[in-house]
Chain A
Amino acid sequence: MFGGIDPALLIASLMVASVPILLAAIGELVVEKAGVLNLGVEGMMIMGAVCGFITAVVTGSPALGFLGGAAGGAGLSLLFALLTQVMQANQVASGLALTLFGLGLSSLLGQGYVGIKPPHTGVVPFGPLADIPFFGKVIFGHDPLVYLSVLAVAAVWAFLRHARGGLILRAVGESHEAAHALGYKVRRIRVLAILFGGAMAGLGGAYVSLVRVPQWTDGITAGAGWIALAIVVFASWRPWRVLLGAWLFGGITVLQLNLQAAGSGIPVEYLSMSPYLITILVLVIMSSGRGRAALNAPASLGQNFHAAR
């Protein structure tokens, strides 16, 4: 099956392919743990992609580009926070609005940038480590964002598990009424979580336009934001399983691209729809278990909070 495909290269490119959805998904996990369902991940990602791209092209610095991407995603998520936390709008509808608006606005912003090559994002110099056979290529041959995304997973895990802030965040997502009764600022905590989620999605989007593709075209994220949402469900709101889900999905993407290139007997169309079909399949498997996975979902997910009295 792997005819002509180098496993080390496959794993290395799998790690790269998974970065955008990993970043977006770990951000969304924090948002959902706070009890907010932001379906606008796709919109925030593509805003991150275009803002990051423009910043990088204008400044010539990929690092500033990634910062710009994060800012773009966070900026759009601020709109979502305004709608749902201040204006008490329905979260599902607001998330959809965010995606529709993000797609339009990004394409507007990106008008003059089609066909340009962004500055190159270099790999982290690990020196001789990169020359180790197999592991050198798999582990020590990547750009900083690959390591950063894994670090982000670890940081989110540690924060939710051990930090007081993480405990409060989980409490807010579990029962906003009870958290409010204890005097926690439900709305403020949720807005912060939403902004974090937006920044992470924006970072993931910038990775698409600066490293993965790397160029700007309309609709460049091609559903990656939605897949990130699916991965949070797949992971049943556990950070390390988000990593697993993202790698799994990255693996499928890379494999199907490789199979397309290698000219296997399978028609290209079937290969290119496979990531979406597999996402559906994974969702089915995860949701049908019902019991444990469902119990792990934050109990206030998607509900708005308004302190009446």
Chain B
Amino acid sequence: MLKLEKRPTPSVFWGRATPVLAVALTMVAGSLMFAALGKNPFEAIRTIFWDPLFGEFAWYLRGQLLVKAGPLILIAVGLSLGFRAGIWNIGAEGQYIMGAICGAAVGLAAYPTESRLIFPVMVLAGAFGGWVWAMIPAILKTRFNTNEILVSLMLVYVAETVLAMASTGFLRNPDGAGFPGSRNFSSYPAAANPELLAGTGLHWGGVAALGAVVAAYVLLQRHILGFQIKLAGQAPRAARFAGVSPNRLVVMCLGIAGALAGLAGMFEVTGPAGQISIDFNSNYGFTAIIVAFLGRLNPVGILFAGLLMALTYIGGEMASTNLGLPSAAIQAFQGMLLFFLLACDLLTNFRIVPARKEVR
């Protein structure tokens, strides 16, 4: 028999190694799942993890990597701050949608004016939209002690309804012959978020994501606020002893996460998506939760985790077209990754030892 023994100090080695181990285990379990679906598991794994980077269409797909990773990283960095502090904002999807709607609304209101100021104002509006949506659970939590998990999640459903209203109502393209969906930003240069370097897939969202990673890294390593976030998550009473105000932390963490999610939505709608439509949202807000954990709530880790998760998206689409692998299989695959990660985390804080033989 084996038993667990708590380590006196968390293991640094396993802290780094668990994500790698989790990815490996997920590949094994995923292969079994693909095989059960009647697909060649090796081919499936290759199509998902290898082909987008080095295969025939890599020249195009590599660019897609940044397109998908940008919003995931941006959202996950914001979420990770809250998760570290024990503040569980799981409504990033809603904040993402609201950021997109607010950003787009400002741009569409200015249509067809051409001004260099329009895009920056839209960026601010996007961040503001996400921030406002996140402030609802924040204020309810600080004022009424309401559970932020449930409120932020309920607001996702509300945001989805607002999105439907926007695309069929107040943001609908007046020249669109009554079809749902807003004007397309690709035909409105002042408000568009184009690819910055041809072929890289890098747009302003990717730049913002990198900036967020750097800022979060500095915050967590060098700034007292980052220290307070970590402290509040690990030992809430010690945080209060240290003089950290829990309410201030809730407002800040949810605010930052909301603003970043809003930014991601705004960059997405003006760039890759191009317009507000009913199915504009694509679960980035939920997948970012996996990214945050996979990156071990560490900004640099999140950078890599975001790229890896983007790879599974792109590779998944490839596998779907080439091998007929259902797209839901990729969703299950991503969920599995989170499972293995949480399970492997055990090794950071515990040691597995053979149980001593009992003496009678």
Kindly state whether residue B191 has any CB partner on chain A within 8 Å: no
Residues from chain B with Cβ under 8 Å of A108 in the complex: 37, 326, 328-329, 331-332
Segment with Cβ contacts to B, from A24-32, A145-153, A279-287? A279-287
Instruction: Please report whether the interface of chain A is mostly helix, strand, loop or mixed according to DSSP.
Output: helix
Kindly state whether residue A83 has any CB partner on chain B within 8 Å: yes
Contact call B286/A100, Cβ cutoff below 8 A? yes
Contact call A102/B335, Cβ cutoff below 8 A? yes
Contact call B293/A93, Cβ cutoff below 8 A? yes
Assembly CA distance A72 to B345 (angstroms)? 26
Residues from chain B with Cβ under 8 Å of A83 in the complex: 339, 342-343
- Which of A88, A100, A111, A294 is B326 in contact with, Cβ under 8 Å? A111
Kindly state whether residue B113 has any CB partner on chain A within 8 Å: no
Instruction: Please report whether the interface of chain B is mostly helix, strand, loop or mixed according to DSSP.
Output: helix
Residues from chain A with Cβ under 8 Å of B240 in the complex: none
B149 to A, closest residue via Cβ = A39
A110 to B, closest residue via Cβ = B328
Contact call B290/A100, Cβ cutoff below 8 A? yes
Assembly CA distance A22 to B332 (angstroms)? 27
Residues from chain B with Cβ under 8 Å of A92 in the complex: 88, 149
Contact call B151/A280, Cβ cutoff below 8 A? yes
Contact call A226/B326, Cβ cutoff below 8 A? no
Segment with Cβ contacts to A, from B47-55, B152-160, B223-231? B152-160
Kindly state whether residue A104 has any CB partner on chain B within 8 Å: yes
Contact call A226/B150, Cβ cutoff below 8 A? yes
Kindly state whether residue A154 has any CB partner on chain B within 8 Å: no
Contact call B335/A280, Cβ cutoff below 8 A? no
Assembly CA distance A276 to B94 (angstroms)? 13
CB distance from A216 to the nearest CB of B (A): 13
Kindly state whether residue B320 has any CB partner on chain A within 8 Å: no
Contact call A280/B154, Cβ cutoff below 8 A? yes
The 6 closest A-B pairs by CB, nearest first: A101-B335, A104-B331, A104-B332, A107-B328, A288-B144, A89-B342
Which A residues have a C-beta under 8 Å from some C-beta of B? 39, 79, 82-83, 87-90, 92-94, 96-97, 100-105, 107-108, 111, 218, 222-223, 226, 229-230, 233, 267, 269, 272-273, 276-277, 279-280, 283-284, 287-288, 290, 294, 306, 308
Given contacts A93-B83, A100-B335, A287-B146, 7 further A-B contacts (CB under 8 A): A82-B343, A92-B88, A100-B331, A104-B329, A108-B332, A273-B158, A280-B150
Which B residues have a C-beta under 8 Å from some C-beta of A? 4, 6, 37, 83, 88, 90, 140, 143-147, 149-151, 153-155, 157-158, 161-162, 164-165, 286, 289-290, 293, 326, 328-336, 338-339, 342-343, 345-346, 349-350
